């Protein structure tokens, strides 16, 4: 039985009425607080886009300040123009309170699907990882930390191009920390536990910098190698410190 308080995403037809500048084709992803759609612009360009919507505040339990984080995600994406980062085209809010982002549409899948579908090869690995690193370096050079690097947030186009997505937990650090609105959640661990840097759950550490993304990346590298090795019937022991304890059975160690 569905939760009566759970967000009910608009159908493609309903969203087309709410955002008449788009012809919304289908839902391509949905969660407890929002959904993502494939759509086409009607402005003469005919460009295919992805539209991400967040439920109005009255329809969700906003314990995690989802509205503020959604806005900050848009702010983070608007700061970046990089081949390996999904581009933001527009951001807004309807009269009913529905927040939305219009983004680059990536025709393909995500790395999580590739790994668990058994289609990962070493050629893929060595072709995609440098692209992920290039995207992260670009963001870090602009004092922006992603804080939620995981396979599901790495999109792969049919042509093999990597696109980093989901900057909902992104944070500016250092001298630029005040350029984006702060969103604080007391005593909450953010990100995905299997991939997060260990220090994200340490209440004594006030700020996680770019090394947290590096730790997430090492964890993901290890998972890719393990997926390939399992397919070949090989089960090596993970090198210490390449990922956090939950994902590889080792004690968490941040790699400098």
Instruction: Say whether 61 is catalytic.
Output: no
- Burial class of residue 251, CB neighbours in 10 A (0-12, 13-18, 19+): exposed
Q: State whether residue 96 is helix, strand or coil.
A: coil
Mean pLDDT in the chain? 75
Of 17-31, 53-67, 114-128, 213-227, the poorest mean pLDDT is in 213-227
Banded pLDDT at 204 (limits 50, 70, 90)? very low
108-248 CATH, one of 1.10.510.10, 3.30.365.10, 1.10.3720.10, 2.40.50.220: 1.10.510.10
pLDDT recorded at residue 251: 31
Which CA distances in Å does 174 have to 44, 79, 211?
Answer: 42, 16, 13
Catalytic hit among 148, 166, 213, 216 = 148
Average pLDDT score over residue span 95-102: 93
pLDDT recorded at residue 250: 33
Banded pLDDT at 178 (limits 50, 70, 90)? low
Question: What's the rounded Cα separation, in Å, for the pair 5 and 59?
Answer: 6
Q: Where in the chain is the domain with CATH 3.30.200.20?
A: 18-104
* pTM for the structure as a whole: 0.71
Per CATH, domain 18-104 is 3.90.209.20: no
């Amino acid at each position: 039985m569905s939760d009566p308080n759970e967000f009910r995403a608009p159908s493609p037809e309903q969203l087309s009425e709410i955002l008449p500048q788009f012809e919304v084709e289908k839902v391509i992803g949905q969660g407890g607080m929002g959904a993502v759609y494939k759509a086409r612009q009607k402005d003469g360009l005919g460009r295919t886009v992805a539209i991400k919507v967040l439920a109005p505040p009255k329809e969700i339990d906003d314990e995690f300040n989802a509205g503020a984080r959604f806005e900050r995600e848009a702010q983070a994406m608007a700061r970046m123009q990089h081949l390996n980062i999904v581009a933001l085209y527009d951001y807004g809010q309807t009269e009913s309170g529905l927040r939305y982002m219009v983004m680059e549409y990536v025709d393909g899948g995500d790395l999580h699907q590739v790994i668990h579908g058994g289609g990962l090869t070493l050629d893929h690995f060595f072709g995609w990882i440098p692209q992920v690193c290039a995207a992260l370096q670009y963001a870090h050079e602009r004092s922006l930390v992603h804080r939620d690097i995981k396979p599901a947030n790495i999109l792969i186009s049919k042509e093999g191009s990597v696109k980093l997505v989901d900057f909902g937990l992104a944070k500016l650090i250092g001298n630029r920390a005040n350029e984006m609105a702060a969103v604080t959640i007391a005593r909450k661990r953010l990100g995905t536990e299997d991939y997060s840097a260990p220090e994200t759950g340490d209440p004594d550490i006030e700020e996680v910098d770019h090394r947290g993304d590096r730790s997430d990346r090492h964890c993901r590298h290890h998972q890719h190698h393990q997926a390939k090795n399992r397919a070949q019937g090989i089960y090596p022991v993970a090198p210490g410190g390449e990922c956090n304890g939950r994902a590889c059975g080792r004690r968490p160690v941040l790699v400098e």
